[in-house]
Structure 1
């Protein structure tokens, strides 16, 4: 498990160093509370300035810990367990990054919040490739490196991150559909549908944050808050989908 954690921590530390180096000073990111529909509460400490949008980030870490400790068919020391644990550590680390962004409103934290999204999405195709083709370290390394480097698109165009993220989402969906065709059943199909539905909810609710805030039901628990709920569910159902198909594949071999 220690080596698995290093897989996440080493590139994470490199990204943190680069984000604080000044090379992303021209990247378009939001650095004010006006970007969010939830009202800032001045009487609360800065790490709870927007209490609901801040506290929801605990969900990523709790969900990641749940899957890290979850007993499944793939509990033996194998590449299959490695795939699950890396994904879990990514979830555990992602929550604090988003929380620090809200607490500090710093450029480096905003860059990291965007940047870390990309290798997380990239791990889904890597896991799908593993299920179909077995463990290929060079493939995993290549995809992760290209994913991290793709954030440099944000230096070329104001919507560079959105372009990179869109490509990652499409790659993940196509990989999921491919592995479903090879090893899927009705259970995995349901998980795939729920993961894709959650992804759509994450995007739509985040984009409509301020629009939805005109309705009373979205003025405290805002669109941004619910988009994070959808994002956590997207993570969870991706775990369900991928672990289930990994079990199916291993049972066919054994």
Structure 2
């Protein structure tokens, strides 16, 4: 786990430093509570001013720790735990970034909230490739570097991030479908379906945040809150899908 922690922290810190320069001053990000349908609570501290949208970030941490503690005992490749731990640590690191964004409404955490989403989706491609071909360092580095650099699209167009994210989601789904088609069973198909469904809920509920707030059930636990719940579930079912294949990989190759 030590190597995975180092390999998450180094790019994390580099991105944090870059986000706090003037490099991304032209990027279109939301820095107002008006962007969210949940009402702020004035008597709470800033880190809980929007309590439900803030506390839901604990879900990423709990889910990440759960999967971090799971061991890939069925796989003889020592890289199996490394690949899983990287994904789990990404989930854990993502939570405080979103929380700080809500607490401060500053540009840097808003940029990081967008930016870190991309390599997280890209790691699905790396893990799928590991399942089919074993660990390939050059492939992993290339995919993650291209993913991080793709945030540069946000500098050339207001919707550049959305384009980059859409491509990442599409590539992750296509890669997952390919792995399932080649090696899948009823369990993997269920996990894949639930992961895609959760991803769809994440996108749609976030987009409909203010629209849904017109209705009583969504005025406290808003669309944005439920989109984050879907995002945590998306992580979880992606773990279920990918660890399922990783654990049976030796049986396919014997």
Aligned residue in 1 for 2:211: 211
Query: Following TM superposition, by how much is the alpha carbon of 1:154 offset from its aligned partner in structure 2, in angstroms?
Result: 0.1
Aligned residue in 2 for 1:21: 21
Alpha-carbon contact 2:38-2:219 (below 8 Å) kept = yes
Q: Distance in 2 between matches of 1:75 and 1:37?
A: 45
Q: Distance in 1 between matches of 2:43 and 2:82?
A: 44
Aligned residue in 2 for 1:165: 165
Aligned residue in 1 for 2:109: 109
Question: Structure 1, residues 173-202: CA drift from partner, whole Å, max 9, x if none?
Answer: 000011101211100000000000000000
Q: Distance in 2 between matches of 1:15 and 1:245?
A: 32
Alpha-carbon contact 2:71-2:81 (below 8 Å) kept = no
Query: Following TM superposition, by how much is the alpha carbon of 1:235 offset from its aligned partner in structure 2, in angstroms?
Result: 0.2
Alpha-carbon contact 1:64-1:89 (below 8 Å) kept = yes
Question: Structure 1, residues 187-221: CA drift from partner, whole Å, max 9, x if none?
Answer: 00000000000000000000000000000000000
Aligned residue in 2 for 1:142: 142
If the length of structure 2 is used for normalisation, what is the TM-score?
A: 0.98
Question: Structure 1, residues 35-94: CA drift from partner, whole Å, max 9, x if none?
Answer: 000000000000000000000001001100000001343576711111100000001101
Q: Distance in 1 between matches of 2:209 and 2:244?
A: 34
Q: Secondary structure at the match of 1:53?
A: helix
**Which sections of structure 1, spanning at least 5 residues, go unmatched?**
none
Aligned residue in 2 for 1:129: 129
CA RMSD in angstroms, aligned pairs only: 1.0
Alpha-carbon contact 1:183-1:248 (below 8 Å) kept = no
Aligned residue in 1 for 2:92: 92
Aligned residue in 2 for 1:192: 192
Residue 234 (structure 2) pairs with residue 234 (structure 1): yes
Alpha-carbon contact 1:183-1:249 (below 8 Å) kept = no
Query: Following TM superposition, by how much is the alpha carbon of 1:248 offset from its aligned partner in structure 2, in angstroms?
Result: 1.9
Number of residue-to-residue matches in the alignment = 254
Aligned residue in 2 for 1:223: 223
Q: Distance in 1 between matches of 2:169 and 2:93?
A: 20
Question: Structure 1, residues 123-153: CA drift from partner, whole Å, max 9, x if none?
Answer: 0011001111111000000000000000000
Q: Distance in 2 between matches of 1:103 and 1:77?
A: 42
Q: Secondary structure at the match of 1:24?
A: coil
Aligned residue in 2 for 1:66: 66
Aligned residue in 2 for 1:57: 57
Provide closer, same or farther for how the CA distance between residues 72 and 3 of structure 1 changes in structure 2, counting only shifts above 3 A. Answer: closer
